[in-house]
Amino acid sequence: MNEQTPNQLPERPEPYWRITSQLASFPPLKEDIKTDVCIVGGGISGITTAYLLAKEGLDVTLIEADVLVNGTTGHTTAKITAQHDLIYDELIHNLGIEKAKLYYEANDAALQFIRKLVKEEKMACDFTDEDAYLYTTNNRGVSKLEHEFKAYQEIGIDSEWITSMPLDIPIKAGIKMRNQAQFHPVKYLAHLIKGFTEMGGKIYEHTVADDVKEGEAPIVVTRDGKRISTQYVVAASHFPFYDGAGFYFSRLHADRSYVVAVECDEEFPGGMYLSCDEPKRSLRYTDMDGKRLVIVGGEQHKTGQGMDTMYHYAALEEYSQKMFTNSKVRFRWSAQDLVTLDKVPYIGKLSRMHPNIFVATGFRKWGMTNGTVAAHVICDLITHRPSPYEELFKPSRFVADPSIRHFMSENLDVAKHLIKGKFDDADKSIDEISVDEGAVVKVDGKRAGAYKDKEGCLHVVDTTCTHMGCEVNWNNGDRTWDCPCHGSRFSYKGEVIEGPATKPLKSLKDK
Ligand code: FES
């Protein structure tokens, strides 16, 4: 164990992946266009779908509200594995053995697809084969793992029961899933983007999809009023940008989690690790300029409902210091993940009424494989090939248990926050706010949010979320306003960073 005083965390959250790889940039859409398929969202699911459909000879246009790979895909820990925490025992219990098997097979096929593509195209994307370990350090966790391992055996997953791991953590038990992988997601997607554009695919960044006009063929309308006439729309925008009466906001919840990348004196032995205990800890390594960085993740909570967000980074920093000698945090970042009612992603037709609009969302923390699965399922559906996974991932499914139970508890949670936020007191008065500080204040007797930037300029917004009226809370780790109800996030100026909200927070004053 290493005792040392706390390090200084990097001032700004910046994911290692974005800093160490450059992507081509693309212009915003400036005119009305026609295309076979319009994909909305430039993360792994949107880019892989675009790549696969262009390979099928379709004319594909991808639009992204911000820049490519800057959402959840750019903020992942980038494990490519079918070991998705404790899941298979639960899937067998809730959905049956056949669907649990399909879930594993779909994710394993995604891993094999990425592995094959990386090899065939000789991609320099820091891809390495690694075993994945799910472990517990206490006796309570052992029985959970025993059930999970039994599920692995029923499904036929190549795995092993273990009582020690290559990484020196005093575990009680663990499950090793063999032959999984990790990579640098931005470098990997840079290859797919290049391949896609070389096949004639078109990309527009800073182009916000606002609505879909439905008729014989859908038209995607951008915030600037440009129209994309198309045969098919794919909403790969994390939270679907278009709901189409699918009520996705009531069937998804948003979780935030935190990551630090640390330098230390130890040699990391390889492997990818995840504890099934609380608080969870995720570990893997990556090599940067000949030095090994350890990527440490954890500290999950519902968006807008955590404590001071810097606390979560500090907890990961403290954990790293206990685990590794002379550990120093080089990067920190956070991620937002969407979770469905039964933990299986929604992939397929937006709803029964919308045969030409597809959605891909709810990957939990496992977007590298689930996002790739989504691309394959949607590609099969658009090209009229049967997909073995269509029924499993169908967004319109609603199973008796756990969907109803979780639907009720999610929506009770929303109601609780909707009411509670209205009665929250101000944190302080506007005059007490320091530079680079944000807080809930009162303006003309009403709840408002204020942030004083580095130049001393005050940005004050109405804290009423533009989605359904809950009150947003300050996130000081990312300098954002986060909604506790369905996870919308806004910049300190009130601009939308993540939906379901599509409209900015009302600006009260900037001075
Ligand atoms: Fe739904 Fe804020 S995200 S009310």
pLDDT at 420 over 70: no
CA of 305 to the centre of ligand 1 (A): 13
CB 505 within 8 A of CB 481: yes
Q: State the distance from the centre of ligand 1 to the C-alpha of 500, rounded, in angstroms.
A: 7
User: How remote is the CA of residue 412 from the centroid of ligand 1, in Å?
Assistant: 14
Site to substitute for ligand 1 among 467, 475, 489, most atoms within 8 A of C-beta: 467
Quick one: tokens of 224? 């600037």
State which ligand 1 atom lies nearest to the alpha carbon of 488: 3
Q: What gap in Å lies between CA 230 and CA 35, rounded to an integer?
A: 5
List Cα–Cα distances, 1 to 9, 28, 133, 137, 163, in angstroms.
Answer: 20, 51, 22, 16, 21
Distance of alpha carbon 295 from alpha carbon 317, whole angstroms: 11
d(CA 212, CA 129): 42
Supply the pTM of this predicted model: 0.90
| Residue 497 near ligand 1, beta carbon < 6 Å | no
Sign (positive or negative) of CA dihedral 289, 365, 14, 224: positive
Helices (H), 77-128: 88-95, 97-120
Res 510: pLDDT:
53
Ligand 1: which of 486, 498, 502 to mutate, judged by most atoms within 8 Å of the beta carbon?
486
pLDDT tens column, 142-168: 999 999 999 999 999 999 999 999 999
pLDDT at 459: 94
The helix (H) or strand (E) run that includes residue 68 is none
What percent of the chain lies above the pLDDT cut of 90?
72
Residue 316 · residue 259 · CB < 8 Å:
yes
- Probe ligand 1: pick from 466, 468, 475, max atoms within 8 Å of CB? 468
Ligand 1 pocket test target in 303, 470, 482, 497 with most atoms within 8 Å of CB: 470
Ligand 1 atom nearest to 249, measured from its CA: 1
Res 427: pLDDT: 74
Using the Cα atoms of residue 392, residue 394, residue 399 and residue 404 in order, give the sign of their dihedral. positive
Chain-wide mean pLDDT for the chain? 91
Mean pLDDT across 75-98: 96
Give residue 146 CA to ligand 1 midpoint distance, Å. Answer: 39
Ligand 1: distance of its center to the CA of 118 in Å?
39
Domains and CATH numbers, the chain: 23-76+186-250+343-401 (3.50.50.60), 423-510 (2.102.10.10)
Give which of 39, 158, 84 is closest to 344, Cα–Cα. 84
* Residue 429, token pair as written in the block: 């008065």
477 lines ligand 1 (CB under 6 A): no
Identify the band that residue 2 occupies on the pLDDT scale cut at 50, 70 and 90. very low
Say how far apart CA 449 and CA 467 lie, in whole Å.
17
Question: How large a percentage of the chain has pLDDT more than 70?
Answer: 92
- Say what the pLDDT of residue 1 is: 35
Q: Is 485 in the pocket of ligand 1 (CB under 6 A)?
A: yes
Taking CA atoms, 258 is separated from 76, 83, 201, in Å, by 9, 19, 34
3-state secondary structure of 300: strand
β-strand pairing of 458-462 with 473-475: unpaired
Cα of 398 vs centre of ligand 1, distance in Å, is 22
In ligand 1, the atom with minimum distance to the C-alpha of 483 is 2
Compute, in angstroms, the gap from residue 467 CA to the centroid of ligand 1. 5
Number of helices (H), then strands (E), in the chain: 10, 25
In angstroms, the CA 80 to CA 368 distance is 6
Give residue 472 CA to ligand 1 midpoint distance, Å. 8
DSSP reduced 3-state for 321 = helix
Higher pLDDT, 409 or 461: 461
Distances (CA, A) of 409 to 217, 252, 402, 404, 416: 38, 12, 11, 9, 10
**Which residue lies with its CA nearest to atom 4 of ligand 1?**
468
Averaged pLDDT for residues 476-503: 90
Instruction: Please compute Rg for the chain using Cα positions.
Output: 22
Give the pLDDT confidence of 184-226 residue by residue, as tens digits: 999 999 999 999 999 999 999 999 999 999 888 999 999 999 9
Query: For residue 128, what are the contacts with CB-CB under 8 A and spacing of at least 6?
Result: 181, 182, 183, 270
The pLDDT, as a whole number, for residue 502 is 86
**pLDDT-derived band of residue 7, with 50, 70 and 90 as boundaries?**
low
The model's confidence at residue 289, banded by pLDDT at 50, 70 and 90, is confident
With bands split at pLDDT 50, 70 and 90, how would you rate the model's confidence at 4? very low
Number of the ligand 1 atom closest to the C-alpha atom of 499: 3
Provide the 3-class DSSP secondary structure of residue 352.
coil
Q: Mean per-residue pLDDT for 417-435?
A: 73
Torsional sign, CA 353, 355, 359, 363: positive
pLDDT digits 0-9 by tens, 264-288? 998 899 999 999 999 999 999 999 8
pLDDT, one tens digit per residue, over 429-462 is 888 888 989 999 988 888 899 999 988 899 999 9
Residue whose structure tokens are 């797919």: 192
Each residue's pLDDT tens digit, 20-57: 998 999 999 999 999 999 999 999 999 999 999 999 99
Whether pLDDT at 423 is above 80:
no
Structure tokens at 164: 């020690």
Phi, psi of 310 (to 5 degrees): -65, -25
Task: Point out the ligand 1 atom lying closest to the alpha carbon of residue 418.
Answer: 4
For 348-363, the pLDDT digits (tens) are 999 888 889 999 999 9
Of 299, 297, 302, 298, nearest to 255 (Cα)? Answer: 302
* Atom number of ligand 1 nearest to Cα 486: 3
In a 3-state reduction of DSSP, which class is residue 510? strand
**CA-proximal residue: ligand 1, atom 3 (nearest):** 486
pLDDT of residue 304: 75
Higher confidence at residue 499 or residue 159?
159
Of 248, 485, 489, 502, the one to substitute when testing ligand 1's pocket (max ligand atoms within 8 A of C-beta) is: 485
What's the CA gap between 248 and 252, in Å, rounded? 6
pLDDT tens digit string along 234-260? 999 988 999 888 888 888 898 989 999
How sure is the predictor about 398, in pLDDT bands with cuts at 50, 70 and 90?
confident
Out of 483, 498, 505, give the residue to mutate to test ligand 1, the one with the largest number of ligand atoms within 8 Å of its CB.
483
